[in-house]
Structure 1
Amino acid sequence: MEAQRPDGSDSSDQAKAKRTRWIALAAAVAVLALAAQGIWSRYDAHAALEREAEHASQMSVEVVLPQKSSGALDLVLPGNVQAFLDTPIYARTNGYLKKWYADIGAHVKNGQLLAEIDTPEVDDQLRAARADLANADANYALAKSTADRWTEMFRSKSVSKQETDEKVGDMLAKKATLDAARFNVARLEKTQSFQKVYAPFDGTVTARNVDVGALIDAGSSGGPAKELFHVVQADRLRVYVNVPQGYAQQVRAQQSAYLTLTETPSRHYPGTVARTAGAVDPQQRTMLVEVDVDNRGGELLPGAYAQVHFALGAGAAPYTLPGNALLFRPDGVKVASVDAQRKVKLLPVSLGTDFGTRVAIVSGLQGDEQVILNPQDSIVDGAPVRIVPRKDNGSAEGAAASSPARGAAPPAAGTQS
């Protein structure tokens, strides 16, 4: 082993070697740090890309809860308003209109004269029939007196029984002729009485189809009879409604209802279910219901279109959803809900009444489902989704749809907010 020199040159070499090692170690550490930073940045970028891809693969959806009313359901259906009595007035005799006494819009009473018909042919037929009646009466009187005389002579054996029977038979034949003539006169008198046309009941004239001098044909010539007047009794109205099969058993006679009109939506016209058909039409799957409405004020017009409101029991109130939450698939109607794992679950449902912007769901929902609004047609079971806040812009419909209503009936068609 070499001894250390007095000038200390071996210490310097060792210090240099040591410094060189530290520099090399620092360089290696720096290289390793740079390599680790590069690897970590690439890993972090890859993880971020994966997160973005996973985020992009999830559909952003808006959800709504089914709405259920704890009160009565307002079932709204279109109705056809008709007058309680609606009668066309025809002529029962031929002739020419002599005069009319009531025009359209006139309020007439039962038995009021509406028109007179000039019937010269019927008048002549009646005069001829009365002449035939007088002739038949004279012939019968002569035959009767003859038969009475021959009957008396037969008792004294002055004439034969054969001759007496002939006289009695002639009297009976003349009696039949007299009866026929009398009945013919009575028929023509009734026909002549049809010269005057009367109102059959209290009501309003809604049509007058003839004028003075018009030919009146009662249809005896083989052609169709022409309507002279049309009279309706509108102080009471019949409103006919076709109730869907799903609600047919819940609408019964004596049940209350009310009408609304599109021109006066805030006015309610009360009515009562008078009768139901008691059977469902096999073609339309509806039951015909008649609602009677008091119209003594004349505010409702026969022939008008109205909306009829039936108050159904709370137990009959189904869930309702916005119409844009439904999926119409070949295997039936479905809704897309989001489960606890934020995945899509398709639920089959049965539809009830369409209330305009909302549709009744008769079955298929429990009430706590998060139902997707505007689902894509291609949506499938198990697809991951991401729930985003609804963009309702403060609308009442959005507030009503996002949370179930309590104690209020679903809005009716035309009034859905």
Structure 2
Amino acid sequence: MKRPSSRFIMIALVVLVGLVAIGAVPRLRQSAALQRMAAPTIPTVTVMTPSRAPGATDFTLPGSIQAIQDVPIFARADGYLKRRFVDIGDRVQQGQVLAELDTPELDQQVAQGRAALAQAQASLAQAESALQQARATLQHNEATARFNGITLDRWRELKRRELVAQQDVDNFQAASDGSRADVAAAQANIDALAASANAARANVVASEANLRRLTDLQSYQTLRAPFTGIVTVRNVDQGSLISSGSATNAMPAFRVAQIDSLRIFVNVPQTFVSSIAPGLSTDTVVRELPNRVFKASVFSTAEALDPASRTLLTEIHMRNEGTVLRPGMYADVNFHVTRTNPPFLLPATAVIIRSGPPRVAVVGPDGIVHLQQVQLGRDLGSTVEIIGGLGEQDTFILTPADNVEDGARVNPVPV
């Protein structure tokens, strides 16, 4: 039997290897595809670094226009409105009479106060007269006591010489003792009368003070304007019963507002606080007067932020030329400021708003995501100010996925 040639064997081996390779390649490709599908997918994200907002910027805050002065006018005495001279909308000058009251009870109290003062003054005069008389009596008694003492000394000398009887000396001794007792009694009487005079004098002072109080109240029968302004409220008419009181328990008879100058209170966010100072110019716009811009300036600030809103209460003053503005109007105040440390400005899509504080997805050098808590400033629509929680070198995801989690791995691609 003829053996196959080596050439034939080689051809057969090549054909066999080719067939094996043709069957194995698809299996290898399928296995590699399965391995790729089984491997975790690392998402590719667009990242960027934060940029600063412009240093010079404008911002607008709402506010309510108020009169520079606005005070209620209360009656200080009980009575009836005798005459009224003004009505709402009337312009009044400082000190101008607004109304007059009829106060019969107060008038009677004033008369009683004058009578009480006159009686107290009469009692004082009587006490001072008695005191003066007692002092004269004391002087007389002191002179008598001195005379009796000198006489007694003389009679004692005569007794020593045996020129007079002892009975005579005893008589002068008794007279001297009696005069000294009269001096002591007169001094005690003076002390009592002086105390009575002091009490009468104090009664006069008290009566004078009471009369001054009543006459001061009587002067409030006339209600006057405390400053130049406009009568904005009138709650009384002629014949109305008016009770004295204050803002806690009575209705004011009138209300007067000074509207030549106006003020607006606004709450300035923390990000602009460092740029707010007295004298800073502002522009005020009222929607009902769209073609007018009213110049104003910062008058003062509270110098402390409200811990709840992190805003600074700021008072703005402005002239009301032509009195076209009215207290109570809504206004928009536009500030022009230059910030020394402006906040970061991020696309609104970069801020993650879930339960809890706002966050930004910061990507580290290792591609690991960290959900960084940030403090928001103004919402400008497509962009948001970040005033805290982010650094200049931080890289953040421009549009993070809704399911992005802290610690996730991503493939960052700069924008």
TM-score range, shorter chain: 0.5 to 0.7
Residue in 2 aligned with 1:130? Answer: 114
Residue in 2 aligned with 1:410? Answer: none
Shift of 1:316: 5.4
Residue in 1 aligned with 2:277? Answer: 252
Residue in 1 aligned with 2:218? Answer: 192
Q: Is the 8 A contact 2:259 2:326 kept in 1?
A: yes
Give distance in 1, aligned partners of 2:243 and 2:110. 18
Please give the per-residue CA displacement for 1:388-416, whole angstroms capped at 9, x wherever unaligned. xxxxxxxxxxxxxxxxxxxxxxxxxxxxx
Give distance in 2, aligned partners of 1:356 and 1:235. 38
Shift of 1:352: 1.9
Give the 5 Å matches for 1:171-210.
171-210=197-236
Q: 2:256 aligns with which of 231, 248, 252?
A: 231
**CA 1:115–1:71 in structure 2 vs 1: closer, same or farther (change >3 Å)?**
same
TM-score, with structure 1 as normaliser: 0.65
Please give the per-residue CA displacement for 1:252-274, whole angstroms capped at 9, x wherever unaligned. 22222221122223422111112
Q: 1:84 aligns with which of 61, 65, 68?
A: 68
TM-score, with structure 2 as normaliser: 0.65
Residue in 2 aligned with 1:312? Answer: 337
Give the 5 Å matches for 1:217-296.
217-219=243-245, 224-296=249-321
Give distance in 2, aligned partners of 1:370 and 1:299. 51
The reply to whether residue 110 of structure 1 matches residue 110 of structure 2 is no
Residue in 2 aligned with 1:101? Answer: 85
Shift of 1:121: 0.3
Number of aligned residue pairs: 329
SS in 2 for 1:226: coil
**CA 1:100–1:277 in structure 2 vs 1: closer, same or farther (change >3 Å)?**
same
Give distance in 2, aligned partners of 1:145 and 1:296. 70
Shift of 1:165: 2.7
Please give the per-residue CA displacement for 1:222-262, whole angstroms capped at 9, x wherever unaligned. x9222111111122222111111222222122222221122
Please give the per-residue CA displacement for 1:286-335, whole angstroms capped at 9, x wherever unaligned. 11111111224322222222111111216655566786786524476468
SS in 2 for 1:249: helix
Please give the per-residue CA displacement for 1:34-93, whole angstroms capped at 9, x wherever unaligned. xxxxxxxxxxxxxxxxxxxxxxxxxxxxxxxx9987572111111232222121111111
Q: Is the 8 A contact 2:271 2:343 kept in 1?
A: no
Unaligned runs of 5+ in 2: 1-49, 145-181, 363-368
SS in 1 for 2:253: strand
**CA 1:170–1:257 in structure 2 vs 1: closer, same or farther (change >3 Å)?**
same
Give distance in 2, aligned partners of 1:313 and 1:286. 18
Residue in 2 aligned with 1:139? Answer: 123
Stretch of structure 1 that moved more, 153-162 or 100-109 = 153-162
RMSD: 4.4
Residue in 2 aligned with 1:169? Answer: 195
Shift of 1:191: 1.0
Residue in 1 aligned with 2:152? Answer: none
1:257 alignment partner AA: T
**CA 1:213–1:324 in structure 2 vs 1: closer, same or farther (change >3 Å)?**
farther
Give distance in 1, aligned partners of 2:199 and 2:331. 66
Unaligned runs of 5+ in 1: 1-65, 338-344, 385-417
Q: Is the 8 A contact 2:350 2:396 kept in 1?
A: no
Shift of 1:218: 1.2
Q: Is the 8 A contact 1:69 1:314 kept in 2?
A: no
Q: Is the 8 A contact 2:361 2:396 kept in 1?
A: no
Using the aligned pairs only, state the percent identity. Answer: 39
Q: Is the 8 A contact 1:97 1:115 kept in 2?
A: yes
1:142 alignment partner AA: Q
Give distance in 2, aligned partners of 1:347 and 1:173. 84
Shift of 1:208: 0.8
**CA 1:346–1:331 in structure 2 vs 1: closer, same or farther (change >3 Å)?**
farther
Shift of 1:370: 11
